[in-house]
Amino acid sequence: MAFPVHRVLLLSSLLCFLPRHDAARVGSYVTVSTASFAASSSTICDDDPGRVIAQQQLQRGNGTSAVLRLTHRHGPCAGPSRSASAPSFAEVLRADERRAEYIQRRMSGAKGPGGLQQFTAASSSKSVTIPANIGHSIGTLQYVVTVSLGTPGVAQTVEVDTGSDVSWVQCAPCAAPACYAQKDQLFDPAKSSSYSAVPCAADACSELSTYGHGCAAGSQCGYVVSYGDGSNTTGVYGSDTLTLTDADAVTGFLFGCGHAQAGLFAGIDGLLALGRKGMSLTSQTSGAYGGGVFSYCLPPSPSSTGFLTLGGPSSASGFATTGLLTAWDVPTFYMVMLTGIGVGGQQLSGVPASAFAGGTVVDTGTVITRLPPTAYAALRAAFRAAMAPYGYPAAPATGILDTCYNFTDYGTVTLPTVSLTFSGGATLKLDAPGFLSSGCLAFATNSGDGDPAILGNVQQRSFAVRFDGSSVGFMPHSC
């Protein structure tokens, strides 16, 4: 279902920066500052006007119509209003386990006749870009954007999630504990001249399918969404004007008006769904912005920024692309086929193709990449062997991360390169922050060989990741 969208160029809002290279590459190893993959404690936002101008020119050349700023929720780029308390790394990993287990459960019954199937869709050239920020929500490390909802608009800081279909915000009236404390004021539908509740008899209500939750107040469509960590939201399904930037508004945007929430939402105002079903933001705006084409760049650190773009160039020129797959009966997730892993410039041996047969979910909501047990064991062994000659002291395991080092006494370290290769030859050559987190190898195992892997957000950071109806593309050093 397409909705009318007002488009005006707004490139001046872009704050995604070209990268700084603090690493010296020598063959299959890289020497980096330990600060590049340590937990960031910077209090200065990395706002380089020169890089802003360069990125604006790149986006203008590609036909992008609007750009929004994306920042780490707890970082200095979020400004004085950023969340005061961030979860510990251990807490993030515990919540990440629940997220990964949830995806595995949903995928466990997804194999049907023919298994994975190619997904295709049309594309066009219109686009809009909105900012995203990295934050801690739904119990794990997530990315957020600030948009506004209603007429007059009310600012809302919402998580962006490629693994969700229904967007929602908390709505007044709603008192604790039914609604939790959030960053911005509650959206009050009674104060918006453009809000309307979706009737139970409307097609939009029936399209909710498993997200439907009967009728509220006699004739209003109800919704309910439950997440992998046990969090949930319940309320009325409605429509209103969603303002992405000062000059880009989506009229008639369908979303959940939440009147009862529970779980680990950590102060966010709601969620912006980027999944593949018809009620997601990308699907609702596909007629206006690129036929469903969208891209994002997750910022590499809390002190830097990224972007989320609806639409964009119709061509994937400059991106390393791989085929977009869909699992039978689970259309929400964006899936690709991982085919190999490299360490120190050498492809891992002894990992059968069957280990990767379940495909790989590309997910912004999972932090740590999950690999089939055989593949992870080979990666871990190769990485440890490549690190051994340097004598870096081992550190205790941190939650699900079992290959950790103590770099306290080192200003720089030499590391083997790590790369991920997908069908068609698309290869992600990861920088150190893309395979190390808090001194640990940022990979873990999934439930079993042949089950779906998950490409987490640590490995995606600083890449522009582009989705269209038939492929997923990766471009390094994009923010």
Banded model confidence at residue 120, pLDDT cuts 50, 70, 90: very low
**For residue 434, pLDDT beyond 50:** yes
Residue 114 has pLDDT above 50, yes or no: no
Handedness of CA 247, 252, 257, 262 (dihedral sign): negative
Percent helix, strand and coil across the chain, each rounded to 5?
20, 35, 45
Contact 278, 452 (CB under 8 A): no
Whether the ω angle into residue 452 lies within 30 degrees of 0, i.e. cis, is: no
**How many other CB atoms sit within 10 Å of the CB of residue 101?**
15
pLDDT at residue 23 greater than cutoff 60: no
Strands annotated E in 162-263: 168-170, 196-197, 212-216, 220-226, 232-245, 248-262
pLDDT at 19: 33
pLDDT tens profile 231-273: 889 999 999 999 988 878 899 999 999 999 987 676 689 999 9
- Is residue 197 over pLDDT 90? yes
> Which residue, 128, 61, 67, is CA-closest to 286?
128
**How much is the pLDDT for 146?**
87
pLDDT value at residue 78? 56
Res. 16: pLDDT tops 50 = no
Tell me which of 313 and 138 has the higher pLDDT. Answer: 313
Fold classified for 9-81+89-472: Cathepsin D, subunit A; domain 1 (2.40.70)
> Mean pLDDT, the chain, as a whole number?
80
Residue 371 pLDDT level (bands cut at 50, 70, 90): very high
d(CA 272, CA 159): 6
**What pLDDT is stored for residue 43 in this prediction?**
66
Q: What are phi and psi of 198, to 5 degrees?
A: -80, 125
Judge whether residue 355 has pLDDT over 60: yes
Q: What angle do CA 417, 320, 130 make, to 5 degrees?
A: 100
What pLDDT is stored for residue 186 in this prediction?
94
Radius of gyration of the chain, Cα coordinates, nearest whole angstrom: 21
Q: Annotate 367-385 with three-state secondary structure.
A: CCEEECHHHHHHHHHHHHH
The secondary structure element, H or E, covering residue 158 is strand 154-161
> Does pLDDT of 140 surpass 90?
no
> Strands 443-445 and 369-371, how do they pair?
parallel
Most confident region among 2-6, 71-75, 392-396 by mean pLDDT? 392-396
Residue 310 has pLDDT above 90, yes or no: no
Answer yes or no: is pLDDT of 22 > 70.
no
| For residue 336, pLDDT beyond 70 | yes
Q: Does the pLDDT of residue 135 top 70, yes or no?
A: no
Residues contacting residue 227 through CB under 8 Å, at least 6 positions apart = 99, 102, 138, 164, 263
Alpha carbon of residue 133 to chain centroid: 10
CA end-to-end distance (rounded Å), the chain: 32
Confidence of residue 93 (pLDDT cuts 50, 70, 90): confident
The first and second tokens of residue 358, run together, are 């379940």
Q: What pLDDT score was predicted for residue 108?
A: 67
Q: Is 441 exposed, middle or buried (0-12, 13-18, 19+ CB in 10 A)?
A: buried
Q: What is the pLDDT of residue 13?
A: 30
Give the mean model confidence (pLDDT) for residues 180-199.
94
List beta partners, residue 142.
135
What gap in Å lies between CA 284 and CA 1, rounded to an integer? 6
Question: CA nearest 240: which of 182, 292, 188, 289?
Answer: 188
409 pLDDT higher than 70 = yes
Indicate whether 59 pLDDT > 60: no
* Close Cβ partners of 51 (under 8 Å, ≥ 6 residues apart): 17, 18
Q: Has residue 401 got a pLDDT over 90?
A: yes
Nearest-angstrom CA–CA distance, 447 and 260 = 33
Contact 269, 183 (CB under 8 A): yes
| Residue 399 DSSP class | T
More confidently predicted of 191 and 227: 191
Task: Determine the average pLDDT of the residues in 360-369.
Answer: 92
Say which amino acid occupies 252. Answer: G
Contact 326, 277 (CB under 8 A): no
Q: List the one residue out of 180, 181, 142 whose CA is nearest residue 262.
A: 180
At CA 41, angle to CA 46 and CA 13, rounded to 5?
A: 25
Res 71 pLDDT > 80: no
**Beta-sheet strands, E only, within 263-408:** 270-273, 294-297, 305-311, 320-323, 325-327, 330-336, 338-343, 346-347, 360-362, 369-371, 394-395, 404-405
pLDDT for res 245: 81
Specify the pLDDT at position 28.
Answer: 86
Task: Give per-residue pLDDT as tens, 79-92.
Answer: 544 444 667 778 77
Q: Does position 119 have pLDDT exceeding 90, yes or no?
A: no
Is the predicted pLDDT of residue 7 greater than 80, yes or no? no
User: Is the predicted pLDDT of residue 351 greater than 50, yes or no?
Assistant: yes
Contact 323, 336 (CB under 8 A): yes
Q: Are 369 and 456 in contact (CB under 8 A)?
A: yes
Which tens digits make up the pLDDT trace of 265-304?
766 899 999 999 999 999 998 888 877 888 898 888 777 7
The C-alpha atoms of residue 444 and residue 441 are separated, in whole angstroms, by 8
**CA within 13 Å, CB half, 389:** 6
* 130 has pLDDT over 50: no
Q: Residue 383: phi, psi to the nearest 5? A: -70, -45
Q: What was the pLDDT predicted at 200? A: 96
Pairwise CA distance, residues 385 & 371, whole Å: 19
Burial class of residue 24 (count of CB atoms within 10 Å of its CB; 0-12, 13-18, 19+): exposed
Residues annotated catalytic, as ranges: 161, 363
The yes-or-no verdict on residue 223 having pLDDT over 70 is yes
Considering the chain, what percentage of its residues have pLDDT values greater than 70?
Answer: 76
